[in-house]
Homo-oligomer: A and B are copies of this chain.
């Protein structure tokens, strides 16, 4: 069923059908009814490819998300879900693009072949060639995260530096003096992942301010790595009494490591960090953490992108979020006197 068929059955021209549907020119009430009746009978819907070809807009946005070879984190899932939902409210579809090892192939498909009107990028690196490319090409994109030079970009980000600082201060206020930082995997840190870098900066800075004894670790994005990492922490400094982490996926393993080492949370050891709220509540005891507002961020990213698509010449905008720490039950006062149990 195409528009010509509808036109024929309604006894009008194709253009009249088009105008009846779009409302861009006036159509008599009688004709409109007749057309609508035929359309309802045949269940006609205009072909998306033809429409996209004709008016140059696909009504689709691309979501460039991290490669699957890695482990996904719950946070990423929340982003994807909220982006799709928000896009739907604007009548946009979402096309997924895994930005894997040869990110280029899929990336090129999306952009050069004009499959999407705009793109949302996840997992931003401080120096990110994807962002650079898009910027140079003037392609409408919004980042979830921000690069080192984000002035000209559109983005919605988290103030990881401030969040991790807040975590450190929270622990210092509780009397902890020897704290470990559990970062994302070394591979990602080297690749320049924004959260890993800014989080580390915040940790280092706050630790210096408070005169704490600290160690920093990279840890794989999975539970077993978390357990190994925790063993390493207690091996390097058995007097460690708290840790801050950005590594959501390793959280279960860190807890397991503590349990194996006989450290009770929060009595003997405090744990906090930056984690999506819903996932902070899946561990026992629930994690005191700066809750990543993943849903809100996804929605904001779509809002920005739609605004940018509607106003191609608008000045770059962004949202920097810094949610407060949610106090749950994984942190407590440091033991005074005996710091060592190993």
Q: Given that A48-B114, A58-B49, A84-B68 are known contacts, is A252 also in contact with B283, CB under 8 Å in the complex?
A: yes
User: Which of A58, A68, A110 has the largest count of B CB atoms less than 10 A from its CB?
Assistant: A68
Q: A205 within 8 Å of B by Cβ? A: no
Q: Is the CB of A109 within 8 A of B84?
A: no
Q: Is the CB of A78 within 8 A of B84?
A: no
Q: A315 within 8 Å of B by Cβ? A: no
- Interface stretch (choices A39-47, A148-156, A167-175): A39-47
Contact residues in B for A100 (Cβ distance below 8 Å):
85, 88
CB distance from A286 to the nearest CB of B (A): 8
Give A103 to B68 CA distance when docked, in angstroms.
27
Q: A253 within 8 Å of B by Cβ? A: yes
CB distance from A331 to the nearest CB of B (A): 17
- Interface stretch (choices A16-24, A89-97, A181-189): A89-97
Number of residues from A at the complex interface, CB < 8 A = 60
- Interface stretch (choices A69-77, A194-202, A234-242): A69-77
Q: A50 within 8 Å of B by Cβ? A: yes
Residue of B with least CB distance to A86? B68
CB distance from A89 to the nearest CB of B (A): 10
Give A52 to B50 CA distance when docked, in angstroms.
8
Copies in the complex: 2
Q: A144 within 8 Å of B by Cβ? A: no
CB distance from A116 to the nearest CB of B (A): 9
Q: Is the CB of B93 within 8 A of A98?
A: no
Give A82 to B88 CA distance when docked, in angstroms.
23
Q: A266 within 8 Å of B by Cβ? A: no
Give A282 to B220 CA distance when docked, in angstroms.
13
Q: In chain A, residues 100-139, which have Cβ atoms closer than 8 Å to a Cβ of chain B?
A: 100, 105-106, 108-110, 112-115
Contact residues in B for A13 (Cβ distance below 8 Å):
none
List of 10 A-B pairs having minimum Cβ-Cβ separation, nearest first? A252-B282, A68-B81, A45-B112, A256-B284, A49-B52, A48-B113, A77-B77, A49-B53, A223-B282, A48-B115
**Residues on A facing B (Cβ under 8 Å):** 43, 45-53, 58, 60, 63, 67-68, 71-72, 74, 76-78, 80-82, 84-85, 88, 93-98, 100, 105-106, 108-110, 112-115, 222-224, 249, 251-253, 255-256, 259, 278, 281-286
10 contacts between A and B (CB under 8 A): A47-B53, A49-B52, A49-B58, A60-B95, A60-B115, A67-B85, A95-B96, A223-B282, A249-B282, A259-B284
